Amino acid sequence: MKTIIFANGEFTTPLHPLNIQEDDLVIAADGGSQHCLSLGILPGVLIGDMDSTDPALLEKWRGEGVEIIQYPEDKDQTDLELALMLAQDRGTRKIVVHGAVGGRLDMTFGNLGLLAHPQLKTPTTLINGAEEVHLLHSGEMLTLVGEPGELVSLLPTQPGKSVVSTRGLEYPLKNEPLEFGLSRGISNHLTGKRGTVHLESGLLVVVHTRATLQEEN
């Protein structure tokens, strides 16, 4: 089972189909339920403080059997953080998040930062149209599948240096440091249909910008 979460940012139509299977869990993080409505998708769960969900839509979901988990507005977590923790608690093998960027800049930064949540152990990808955002921890490797020339940016996200090795990228790295606050890792490219990024140490965001449709697994 994978989980698809719709957050309350701007939804940009992804380059690949949503490919929601019968056993997948769809979670709407409060106002993300409006994206579900627009796409004709019935969420399995609606979670959050409901300050961004129209009361009529809330009642519509309730009447259609959607599980509603409501929190008070005075809380320490964003609705997306609650959704991520719920997905993990329910045993999902993979989390895909749509609508996590755009709108308020502080929320965009906060949503991107949730990839580094200390309790989030489930592989999680944020998707914004053609862009896919992944986070690598020390010792992890990511395989990128796409087309030659697609953009790949490598962004250290903690102070100090992240040591990175790559294969299949135009500007290869071999146990080389990328330093937080510098822009060296921006705008690399795939040279073939596959590339790998191996993080020796540090914390690294990988942004893969697709040029062609790919089937989601």
Which strands form 94-98's sheet, in the order they lie side by side?
67-70, 45-48, 25-29, 2-6, 94-98, 124-128, 131-137, 203-209, 151-156, 188-189
Residue whose C-alpha is closest to residue 142's, from 217, 205, 60 = 205
Measured between alpha carbons, how far is 46 from 27 in angstroms, rounded to an integer? 6
Give the global pTM.
0.91
Q: According to the model, what pLDDT value does residue 216 have?
A: 47
Each residue's pLDDT tens digit, 168-203: 999 999 999 999 999 999 999 999 999 999 999 999
| 209's tokens | 């910008």
For the chain, domains (ranges, CATH) are 2-129 (3.40.50.10240), 134-209 (3.40.50.10240)
Distance CA 190, CA 208 (A): 9
Q: What is the pLDDT of residues 111-126, one digit of tens each?
A: 999 999 999 999 999 9
